[in-house]
Structure 1
């Protein structure tokens, strides 16, 4: 250890905290002309430092104008942030390095060891969800609406085959074959003499299915490709984790009769790949699990301030520049991995491959291209097109950026949106495009002559109307491609988009209700009940964040959208479904990725699929106990309940 960085809470109240930061030089050489670079996810008030000068871009902070640091010496400063008291170790400094000034300004990071933050709070025991000793015999999640246990078992082994399926079932058959090969270590054939039968039944609801497991045959009936997938999902969950006969890899499946269909039509998960890049294989593994638990939508968050992740032919700079960050890159380090170049993007061919993979599993992929906020990676990649040099507006976004909002007064903004969305609409077959539209800060566009002129031309009184102006252009473009626009609830700001836009309510239940009352269709995604980046318990060592509170498993399971509205209330028809989300500021590896998602994803699947009257917390826990052996076999690093 050569250098050590400590952060300690020294004073706090409901709205403000003061910290002591100490950098220890543990070497026998002094540091001259040095600066400290570190990641901190709160805004450091610049005038609050007792020693040195801080600059901050997003979570990337640099302290300069410091004295020489003597051998075995200490640099000490204090600073203030306007935040409630920290409760998690993840709130501390996540990464840091020292650099020495150089003539060419090329940064060569010197590593620093970081002590765990001293939160100045009593210890809190780990939050547990005790599961019953006995797992449910049939542990299907989500719970089917109708199921009867029959006497006996069907045996899957190397002699099992699938009869020639109808065309609508081909995707489900592809998925079933892939999963059975993992169990049997050999392919399951498609044969006229097979004993797993897929058949069309026009009397079944579009997303419904019938699954009958008998002693010698399995019968799957549906009226849609998705119905065949959901039946396959239930069948796969019936397969035990271990074979009943190891010698010939025989798996014994309980005989059941299931008649099932979903409660909500939209059952989604959003993954943020902008803050941290998630490789294709990680996404495919997630899609396997989404299909297993009967989700039908993958919302792919592909662009943000910290990274542009989708190949766009019209603008190769978006991935050449915007997909990468580091101390010597155009985009500075953020969140983690501070001292090296970090990033990645998806080629169009990779995206096509993921879309096809998801389609076999009954999952539609909706891309999100953030407009007009969260655009820093795009703006810095295309400065000649997207920066207005006359705009002197001063603002700070919630993520501490002052340069991340597109200008609605630049011609380049409209050509950028058109060219990008033309390619996105062509690439993704889904009938929806999500455009974000969230978190545009106060102060933007207020000191831009071009924006003020645009407001005067249209008689706009509030800068928010400029957001509406830009989004209305975007909506018309998307509709011209035969698709429907989606956005977070801030898409309604400026009141320019039509009621054809689907709104995702993330800030609160009340925000969702207000959108419904204005006539919008909505997907409920309140952070307080569905954000999987939130910590799963109350002890300081829980991974995650807590800006919207803590989110243990039972709180997820007991969520019911707009519970104050009766089932008979006509406004409920505007609730298309539920979506969960994993924001990835602190999710940069497979282990943490899985830890934050599982087992809460299983709880979300049930509130999406099962009728409320069939949901029961104790029964769910017994079925969850039965699912853990699968999660273990799949090598998933889930958070243990006990």
Structure 2
């Protein structure tokens, strides 16, 4: 992760971990010795002190109890686990020691010289560590025991069990943290406030409720048009691909078999895709090339007018959105479309979604589904994060080790080390060249441009380690054992300086994850990757206009003691007080020129576009835009506008200086951040918590008003931004758009992927496409917040009544996050609510978990149980986590205590 992806945040609670009763796994090359009895380990994690000091450190006890043979006190075993934060050395009197292996991998092992042959049982290990851990994603995980059994080693995975409830004190992230933990009561109050805005909204049949994102102009009539099997789709020849897309969409979504008719006029066609000028868009602010007009009239049928194929495609998405959500479930072979007249144009040309497949791999089917959903909600850029420290995910013909070695993690010698709780077994995956070409074609048909990211020069450990592995093969190779390897010009490319003694540690804990920017091998390697990408895009007939080269989080200290870099600096006459920063800038200047020669635009995280001034980030603005990256302008993806970190105006400074900017706001658009402050809620929270409301209220052209409170819940004084840069008129033209980010350290499977994406992505689509809301440019005030609440009420109503029911079945169904009910008990009466209308609330009084057949909550109801459990249910029977309310028999008017 990054400070943008993680940062030091750890405080911990209580967990118990037990070895699963299954047969233990054996490390590669080892054999199982069945005569050695197995052990059962029980681990408990008990918080003893919350974070304090600067930097904040918490204390906890790891209590290890063993059933079966005791572990020897001197040698022969080690307990490995992943933990994202820094653990201090153990005190001298401890019988064990904790070592940082690399990245987030740690090892506990016996300390030499312990006075006894056996460890105490139970053994209490007192740990002190940075930060806080107030949810399950910050828990140490991926435990496995590696022990010597005779002449082999046995590796046994360990299962982690987490507490179901955590007290308020343990949820404190720091002394200044005033964000209340999510409880039944806090949810109830929030939902109650939102409901006051909801009741003022028009009914769901109104024009503003039919299509999301909200069209620029729309009118709804009283008539309708029916599409059914046999309906004819006429189209302009330039829109043939879009007509085929519509035909297939009608078949897959509604079982309608339409007919295609290429014609110069709409006679006899139920749907007509017409190419023509949209003169009515002349006065609208937006991207006219992607605009469209959609009319549904009983006498004329359905007509989509557009100037480009992209515009026609988005008109088709709005046509599909007019269908009632129920139609996606029933597939009734006909579709009743309401009479409408919609004129529409997007606000931003760049409407993006970033997907990290390096930290945890997600296969072709998952990526295609993301592309389908992006297209449905009119997003048009997939920022594809293909490489990082923990994995290289794209086949590069000629460099097979990048994927045979660099795409897998495990405890063996032929893979990267475990990360993010991946455990000792070999796990991972990659896209073959054919897979990549298939995904590119799939995206292009949906008018989505795929921007590949090869993260450089930091976040490159997977590549560095894979090339080291390749070089070891080359060193022992001969023509007979490895035909062609020695003759390959890339056989012995080294991405690191073997004599480099620089000491550094990345945000994610890596000590060897930075490419040597002073070696020509590094640029030969990059050229090979770029050449391969160019070939894949050419074969897919997909545009490769931009390559994202990362540029983030190069740790302090890299290259300083590299003989290669010292020689480079001397050869070029460079004498700089900050040689690391100078080398960083030179690297991106060279890369910028090399890509420009191929007609490809360089993109990178904001760090890549900045020159760091002497003194680093201390004392205000520590950097300035690099003028050598402005012709052609670099595309800077700006993530760090975290309130209070002093970089909130970076995006505007870059845009004003001439860079093209994509707004990636961590506190609003990082979808890997947890929805709420709840121990059971997955995701990180280093930049705060991000739910759909937080995404919805993002203000691209008034960033300083996007939030009223900082990540710790403290109110933001608008005076803080008195001297911050504002967008100039020219700078505003260079803000290309906005992008949501999904980093996947905590996202290991498709269900988790969809949970973190939805419904947040719907808020992203609204802000990226819809016109600038009336409140965006207003100064912070109670009046502005009232307008935001009003618009959010309308949006939440649309989500609950149309979009979430549609997502239950769209593209096979989406596992979006279902909000927990809010609840309280007053004088024995249960009162409950939920964030979005349309969800079904069920409750029990006997302590059992609510199911779809449990008692339905329809309104305030008398209850007698001591413990009331509630869950929200979607239309297809999926459930939220459980809300628990206690105190039903309490007297008086105070609400009962909740979860």
Q: Same fold (TM over 0.5)?
A: yes
2:656–2:728 contact (8 Å) kept in structure 1: no
Aligned residue for 1:242, secondary structure, equals: helix
1:212 to 295, 304, 321: 295
Match of 1:519 in 2: 658
Partner in structure 2 of residue 190 of structure 1: 260
2:50 counterpart of 1:12: yes
Distance 1:393 1:173, change over 3 A: same
Matched, 1:419 2:528: yes
Cα pair 1:48 1:80 within 8 Å, conserved: no
1:440 aligns with 2:554: yes
Matches of 2:597 and 2:460 in 1, distance apart? 24
Distance in structure 1 (CA, Å) of the matches to 2:671 and 2:519? 37
Picking from 813, 818, 828, the partner of 1:640 is: 818
The one of 80, 105, 128 equivalent to 1:37 is 80
Higher mean C-alpha deviation, range 106-115 or range 365-374: 106-115
For the pair 1:502 / 2:635, whether they are aligned, the reply is: yes
1:390-442 Cα offsets, whole Å, 9 max, x none, are 10000000000000000012221111111111211332322111000100010
| Partner in structure 1 of residue 720 of structure 2 | none
- Alpha-carbon separation, structure 2, partners of 1:423 and 1:171: 28
Deviation at 1:200, TM superposition (A): 0.5
Spell out the pairing of 1:339-418 with structure 2 (5 A cutoff). Answer: 339-383=424-468, 384=471, 385-418=494-527
Counterpart in 1 of 2:722? none
Deviates more, 1:366-375 or 1:628-637: 628-637
Query: Could you tell me how far 1:114 is from its partner in structure 2?
Result: 3.5
Cα distance, 1:139 vs structure 2:
2.9
| Aligned counterparts of 1:97 and 1:545: Cα–Cα separation in 2 | 24
Alignment of 1:241-256 (within 5 A): 241-243=325-327, 249-256=333-340
Q: For residues 496 and 314 of structure 1, what CA distance do their matches in structure 2 show? A: 36
Q: How many Å separate the matches in 2 of 1:374 and 1:156? A: 51
Matched, 1:631 2:794: no
Mapped pair 1:201 → 2:276? yes
Report Cα offsets for 1:450-482 as digits up to 9, x if no partner: 212212333141211111112222111211111
Number of the residue aligned with 1:284: 368
What is aligned with 1:622?
A: 797
Measured against aligned partners, the alpha-carbon deviations of 1:16-49 in whole angstroms (never above 9, x if no partner) come to 1122112221x23223422111111212234568
Cα deviation per residue 1:153-177 (whole Å; 9 max; x = unaligned)? 111221223114422x233333322
Contact 1:535 1:544 in 2 (8 A): yes
2:139 to 48, 71, 92: 92
Question: Is 1:145 paired with 2:193?
Answer: no
The answer on 1:63 being equivalent to 2:108 is yes
Distance (Å, rounded) in 2 between the aligned partners of 1:456 and 1:377? 30
Change (3 A) 1:178 1:466: same
What is the match of residue 847 of structure 2? none
| Mapping of residues 240-639 of structure 1, within 5 Å | 240-243=324-327, 249-328=333-412, 329-383=414-468, 384=471, 385-428=494-537, 429-458=543-572, 459-461=574-576, 462=578, 463-494=580-611, 495=626, 497-499=628-630, 500-508=633-641, 509-563=648-702, 569-613=729-773, 616-625=791-800, 626-634=802-810, 635-639=813-817
The answer to whether the 8 A contact 1:314-1:420 is kept is no
The 1:430/1:475 distance shift into structure 2, 3 A limit, reads same
Within the alignment, does 1:156 sit opposite 2:227 as a pair? yes
Alpha carbons of 1:272 and 1:497: their partners in 2 closer, same or farther (altered >3 Å)?
Answer: farther
Pick closer, same or farther for the CA change 1:290–1:72 going to 2, 3 Å: same
Do the aligned residues in 2 keep the contact of 1:145 with 1:614 (CA within 8 Å)?
no
Deviates more, 1:171-180 or 1:433-442: 171-180
Where relative contact order (Cα < 8 A, 6+ residues apart) is larger, the structure is 1
Distance apart, 1:590 and its partner CA? 1.3
Q: Which has the larger radius of gyration?
A: 2
Could you tell me how far 1:69 is from its partner in structure 2? 9.7
Alignment partners' CA distance in 2, 1:178 and 1:282: 20
What residue ranges of structure 2 are gaps of 5+ in the alignment?
A: 1-17, 19-39, 172-180, 263-267, 280-287, 472-493, 538-542, 612-625, 642-647, 705-724, 776-790, 820-833, 835-899
Distance 1:180 1:451 in 2: 60
Report the Cα offset of residue 568 of structure 1: 7.2
Match of 1:121 in 2: 170
> In 2 relative to 1, CA 472–221 (structure 1 residues): closer, same or farther, beyond 3 Å?
same
Question: In the alignment, is the contact (CA less than 8 A) between 2:738 and 2:768 conserved in 1?
Answer: yes
CA distance in 2, matches of 1:125, 1:481: 55
CA distance 1:244–1:507, change in 2 (3 Å):
closer
* Aligned CA distance change for structure 1 residues 206 and 23 (closer, same or farther; 3 Å): same
Do the aligned partners of residues 611 and 186 (structure 1) sit closer, same or farther apart at CA in structure 2, a change above 3 Å counting?
closer
* Pair 1:103–1:535, CA change in 2 (3 A): same
1:250-283 Cα offsets, whole Å, 9 max, x none, are: 2211111000001111100000000011111111
Deviation by residue 1:474-525 (Cα, 9 ceiling, x = unmatched): 1112111111010001102444741111100011132212322432111010
CA-CA distance at 1:106 after TM superposition: 5.2
Gap change, CA 1:315 and 1:246, over 3 Å in 2: closer
Evaluate the alpha carbon distance shift between residue 115 and residue 244 of structure 1 in structure 2; reply closer, same or farther with a 3 A threshold.
closer
Distance 1:336 1:176, change over 3 A: farther
Q: State the number of aligned residues.
A: 639
Q: 1:59 to 1:154 in 2, by over 3 A?
A: same
Q: 1:510 to 1:48 in 2, by over 3 A?
A: farther
Residue of 24, 34, 40 corresponding to 2:65: 24
Cα 1:245–1:530 shift into 2, 3 Å: closer
Equivalents in 2 of 1:231, 1:271: separation in Å?
Answer: 26
Q: Could you say what secondary structure the match of 2:213 adopts?
A: coil
SS in 1 for 2:290: coil
Partner of 2:204: 136
* Alpha-carbon contact 2:329-2:809 (below 8 Å) kept: no
The offset of 1:244, in angstroms, is 11
Contact 1:505 1:511 in 2 (8 A): yes
- The CA deviation at 1:221 is 0.9
Inter-partner Cα distance in structure 2 for 1:153 and 1:245: 20
* Secondary structure, aligned partner of 1:289: helix
Which residue of the partner structure matches residue 181 of structure 1? 251
Structure 1: 5+ residue runs without aligned partners?
none
Contact 1:150 1:254 in 2 (8 A): yes
- Cα distance change on mapping 1:78 and 1:159 into 2, 3 Å: same
